[in-house]
Amino acid sequence: MSRVYLAVFVTAVLGYSNIALASSKPEISGFARAIVGVADHDDVDAIDYDKTPSLKPHSLIGVQADWQITQHWSATAQMLGRADRDLKSGIEWLYAQYAADHGVNYKVGRLRSPFFMYSNVLNVGYSYHWIQAPSEVYSPVLFDHFDGGEASYTYFGEDFSATVSGFLGQFDGDVEYLGEQYTTDVNTFSGLVFEVSFDKLKLQSSINRGNIFVKNPMLSQLSDVAEQAGLSEVAQALSIDGEVTYFQVGFSYETFDYFIKGEWVDFHHDFSLLAETRANYISVGYQLDNLLFHLTAAKRDDALKPMNDFIPPIDALSPLAGLYHQLSNVRAHSDQDSYIFGVRWDVGDNIALKAEVNHTIFDQDDLDPALSTQPEDTTLVLLGAEWVF
Task: Give residues with Cβ within 8 angstroms of 26, minimum separation 6.
Answer: 65, 66, 67
State which of 17-21, 55-59, 182-186, 380-384 shows the largest mean pLDDT. Answer: 380-384
pLDDT at residue number 140: 65
Q: Is the pLDDT of residue 8 over 90?
A: no
Between 289 and 12, the higher pLDDT residue: 289
Mean of per-residue pLDDT scores for the chain: 88
Angle at 334 between CA 139 and CA 247, to 5 degrees: 45
pLDDT at residue number 108: 98
Q: How far apart are CA 135 and CA 388, in angstroms?
A: 24
Tally of CA atoms within 13 A in the half-sphere of 359 that contains its CB = 3
Phi and psi dihedrals of 228, rounded to 5? -65, -30
Closest CA to 222 of 368, 325, 371, 333: 325
Amino acid type, 367: L
Query: 57: cis peptide before it, omega within 30°?
Result: yes
Overall domain count for the chain: 1
Question: What is the arithmetic mean of pLDDT over 137-142?
Answer: 80
Question: What is the arithmetic mean of pLDDT over 254-268?
Answer: 97
> pLDDT-based confidence at 315, cuts 50/70/90?
low
Q: How far apart are CA 250 and CA 195, in angstroms?
A: 9
- Percent of the chain predicted with pLDDT > 70: 86
Question: What is the arithmetic mean of pLDDT over 349-367?
Answer: 88
Q: Give the Cβ contact number of residue 7 at 10 Å.
A: 11
> pLDDT-based confidence at 270, cuts 50/70/90?
confident
Instruction: Kindly list the distances between the CA atom of residue 92 and the CA atoms of 71, 122, 298, in Å, as whole numbers in the listed order.
Output: 25, 11, 28
pLDDT tens sequence across 189-206: 999 999 999 999 999 999
Q: Is the pLDDT of residue 1 over 50?
A: no
Task: Give residues with Cβ within 8 angstroms of 232, minimum separation 6.
Answer: 226
Q: Is the pLDDT of residue 210 over 80?
A: yes
Between 320 and 361, the higher pLDDT residue: 361
Closest CA to 107 of 148, 77, 66, 162: 148
Between 60 and 4, the higher pLDDT residue: 60
pLDDT at residue number 74: 97
Q: Give the Cβ contact number of residue 53 at 10 Å.
A: 12
Phi and psi dihedrals of 266, rounded to 5? -140, 120
pLDDT tens sequence across 104-125: 999 999 999 999 999 999 999 9
pLDDT tens sequence across 161-195: 999 999 999 999 888 765 567 789 999 999 999 99
Question: What is the arithmetic mean of pLDDT over 290-319?
Answer: 83
| Residue 293 belongs to domain with CATH number | 2.40.160.10
- Domain span at residue 236 reads 2-388
Phi and psi dihedrals of 353, rounded to 5? -105, 140
- What pTM did the predictor assign? 0.88
pLDDT at residue number 375: 81
Question: DSSP code of 54?
Answer: B
- Percent of the chain predicted with pLDDT > 90: 63
Q: Is the pLDDT of residue 364 over 70?
A: no
Can you list the pairs that 175-178 forms with residues at least 24 positions away whose Cβ atoms lie under 8 Å?
175/140, 175/141, 175/142, 175/143, 175/214, 176/87, 176/140, 176/141, 177/140, 177/141, 177/332, 178/45, 178/332
